[in-house]
Amino acid sequence: MSERRLQRLLPDSWQGDGREARWRRSRARRVLAGLLCGVAVLAVVGAVRPADPPTHSVAVAARDLPAGSRLTADDVREVRWSTADRVPGRVSVRAVPGTILTAPILAGEPFTSARVRSARTWPSVPAGRVVVGVSTGDTAITRVLQAGDRVDLIDTGKGATIAVAVPVLAVIAETAAAHGTGLAGGSSAEAPAVLVAVTPSDAAAVGSASAARSGGLGGGIQLALRAAV
């Protein structure tokens, strides 16, 4: 295509052999050349620029949290860290809510398996009850108890029943302290303990009876096994 035909594609003021028309066409060519040069430079830079480093998802604290916090979705946020920044024991964003924080954490710090643990649940504990450990010198009854049994708790010092038909959660067998001997050279064994679910007020009564026994004031807790109906 000849130059004359190309000029017909331009505005009227750009056509012809006049000085102003030639100046307009010359300026347009310089601008176009500059644009093409810029595009070429960007293409070269894009070709030689290294690719972004690979990243991975990291769950971090959304704010400062104290130890013992039961974590929720509002306590965690997801960030992208370079895979070169390894986080040993990292916990996924989905796994954090519902766990318990075992140590304080600052905003932006990652959650790891060393900092959180699963929330302890007791499906067999009725609502409104707490778990207490009852130690008794009556090893005969504790040796036959099993989780799921029902027992009465009796304060032997006062001769009064503290609670009736409370569920047994677990029985911890007697063990020799550190598998060694006592100060007098004889066997030092810990009395067997029974974990039961009681009301908070009954738990206070159990604590009082146990304290009286530990203080040498007599009394203690007696367990009475209820036969299954």
Given a contact cutoff of 8 angstroms between Cβ atoms, the answer to whether 130 and 198 are in contact is yes
> Are 91 and 65 in the same domain?
yes
> Are 147 and 219 in the same domain?
yes
Angle at 178 between CA 173 and CA 181, to 5 degrees: 100
* Within a domain: 184: no
For residue 212, give Cα distances in angstroms to 47, 76, 159, 190.
82, 46, 13, 18
* Within a domain: 41: no
> Are 221 and 135 in the same domain?
yes
* Within a domain: 45: no
* Within a domain: 42: no
The CATH number for 88's domain is 3.90.1210.10
Q: CA-to-CA distance for 85 and 150, rounded, in angstroms?
A: 54
> Are 134 and 161 in the same domain?
yes
> Are 161 and 210 in the same domain?
yes
Range of the domain at 158: 130-175+190-226
Amino acid occupying residue 65: L
Residue 226's nearest CA partner among 123, 141, 139 is: 141
Q: Which residues contact 127 (CB under 8 A, 6 or more apart)?
A: none
pLDDT of residue 40: 75
For residue 12, give Cα distances in angstroms to 7, 25, 95, 159.
9, 11, 70, 117
> Are 90 and 153 in the same domain?
no
Single out the residue in 75, 96, 118 at which a domain terminates: 118
pLDDT of residue 39: 76
Which secondary structure element, helix H or strand E, spans residue 228, and what is its range?
A: none
* Within a domain: 162: yes
* Within a domain: 18: no
Given a contact cutoff of 8 angstroms between Cβ atoms, the answer to whether 112 and 95 are in contact is no
Total number of domains in the chain: 2
* Within a domain: 29: no
* Within a domain: 145: yes
Q: What is the 3-state secondary structure (H, E, C) of 122-169?
A: CCCCCCCCEEEEEECCCHHHHHHCCCCCEEEEEECCCCEEEEEEEEEE
Quick one: CA dihedral 73, 78, 83, 86, positive or negative? negative
> Are 140 and 68 in the same domain?
no
Question: Each residue's pLDDT tens digit in the chain (229 positions)?
Answer: 456 665 555 566 656 666 776 677 777 777 777 787 777 777 776 666 666 778 889 999 999 999 888 999 999 999 999 888 888 899 999 999 999 998 899 999 999 998 998 877 777 787 888 999 888 777 788 888 888 899 999 988 888 999 999 999 988 876 444 344 443 444 444 567 899 999 999 999 888 887 766 655 556 788 999 876 5
Beta strands in the chain (DSSP E): 55-61, 76-82, 99-101, 116-118, 130-135, 150-155, 160-172, 175-181, 187-190, 193-198, 221-226
Please, how many CA atoms are within 13 Å of residue 190, restricted to the half-sphere of its CB?
A: 14
Q: Dihedrals φ, ψ of 202, to 5°?
A: -65, -35
